[in-house]
Structure 1
Amino acid sequence: MDATMTADLQVEFQTYCAKLPEMLVGHDGHYVVIRGSQPVHFSLTYEDALSWAYERFGLDRFFVKKVTEDRATAHFTRDLG
């Protein structure tokens, strides 16, 4: 896990890692929205995933990440500081 990953998002990041093999089958290259321990939405673009998540969850915590085997992909989160 990245050193910059906040403790609040550990569950979502762990969910991403655990579910990655099955998400790759149908959603490779898409962006996933994860809330808690469940992937809840997939979009073709980061912007669409983020828009969907804000409409659904507002300012509550969620995690958006590209579904890919490439570990260099950035993590997109909203800093709730």
Structure 2
Amino acid sequence: MASNRLTDAQIAAEATRRLAWDAAIPPGAVLVKVARGRITLSGELQHEAQRTAMLEDVRRLFGVTGIVDRTVVTTG
């Protein structure tokens, strides 16, 4: 049912909220954009573990049709 589908703005808000609550992700490190349910993540992270946590945070969000990871890990 199309009426049950979340809007891109709702998906972006929920993804941003989840990333903000994750202690592994530095505040403001990841920018979230959503178009047609596809999340694009960009920004700088300091460790590969942060990338893993970030992807896990948004992977199972309701309404997400895909994830594009454009983040950069600056150190080990």
Give the TM-score of the pair, scaled to structure 2. 0.29
Q: Which has the larger radius of gyration?
A: 2
More strand by share: 2
Higher RCO (CA 8 Å, separation ≥ 6 residues): 2
